[in-house]
Amino acid sequence: MIAIIGGTGLNTFSDGEVVGERHNHYGYTSASIIQSEIDGQQICFLSRHGNPHTIAPHQVNYRANLWALKQLGVSKILAVNAVGGIAPSMTAGTLVLPDQLIDYTYGREHTLYDQTDNKLEHIDFSYPFSSNLRDVLKRAAVGCSLPLLDKAVYGVTQGPRLETAAEINRMDRDGCDIVGMTAMPEAALARELDMDYASLCLVVNPAAGRSDGLIAMDDIRCVIDAGMIKVRALLIAALAELG
Ligand code: HPA
């Protein structure tokens, strides 16, 4: 089964039934998981920040979320992330499919290998996003004539505050094109659980120091509202490709 993990601006996807348990040995999932049928295909949806949106990026129980999806038989995850743009091409409103990430987060429960079942594996994470799912999303974007940049390094910061301009300059020197707070440890946990994972990002603001002014939440909200309409269309097209 395919799951969509919705980020900021995508707290719901389509009407359906609550499935699975919210509680597992890692704690509570961010929200109930909703299963629905889209064009004859069963999919699961989970709102990463809860519904309503109240859980900060560093407080999301990524392990409970990913474990719960695995228990439901999910093998492919399309994750949606709102990000800031660092590279000049990453302007607000751009849809981006990152192919790499750098993890700057700290203090998050970031692995399932914590001795609960006396297992340890060092997963390969050279290419953190599934090339198969990335190809599906690229084809879907062409199919619905939505521009999609398909190469970017996603720098994952701790939040919830936004970055300083100097931090963004450092991330730029590191090779980051976009900055967000939620791709990790989500992507790594998906790999630990052997689930394909791709992140579809919407750039919602120029990163700190990359515009003339400060970052205004009102501007971000407008970009999110318009951008998530495109994200939904792209996801529906991707599901059709996968079905
Ligand atoms: N920085 C970090 N995370 C974000 C940003 C940003 O500028 N915009 C949206 N998520």
Residue 216's pLDDT band, with cuts at 50, 70 and 90, is: confident
Mean pLDDT of 33-61: 95
Cα 84 to ligand 1 centre (Å): 4
The answer, yes or no, to whether any atom of ligand 1 lies below 6 A from the CB of 162, is yes
Helix or strand (DSSP H, E) at 47? strand 41-47
Q: What is the pLDDT of residue 151?
A: 97
Q: How many domains does the chain have?
A: 1
CATH number for the domain that contains residue 26: 3.40.50.1580
The answer, yes or no, to whether any atom of ligand 1 lies below 6 A from the CB of 157, is yes
Q: What is the pLDDT of residue 36?
A: 97
Structure tokens at 86: 């660092």
Mean pLDDT of the chain: 96
Mean pLDDT of 78-92: 98
Q: What is the pLDDT of residue 54?
A: 93
The answer, yes or no, to whether any atom of ligand 1 lies below 6 A from the CB of 65, is no
Query: Of ligand 1's atoms, which has the minimum distance to the CA of residue 85?
Result: 7
Mean pLDDT of 168-177: 98
Query: Which domain, by its residues, includes 157?
Result: 2-242
* Confidence check: pLDDT of 117 > 80: no
Q: How far apart are the C-alpha atoms of 41 and 33, rounded to whole Å?
A: 16
Residue 194's CB: how many other CB atoms inside 10 A?
9
| Residue 219, beta-bridge partner list | none
Please, are residues 183 and 129 in contact by the beta-carbon 8 Å criterion? no
Q: What is the pLDDT of residue 5?
A: 98
Cα 242 to ligand 1 centre (Å): 30
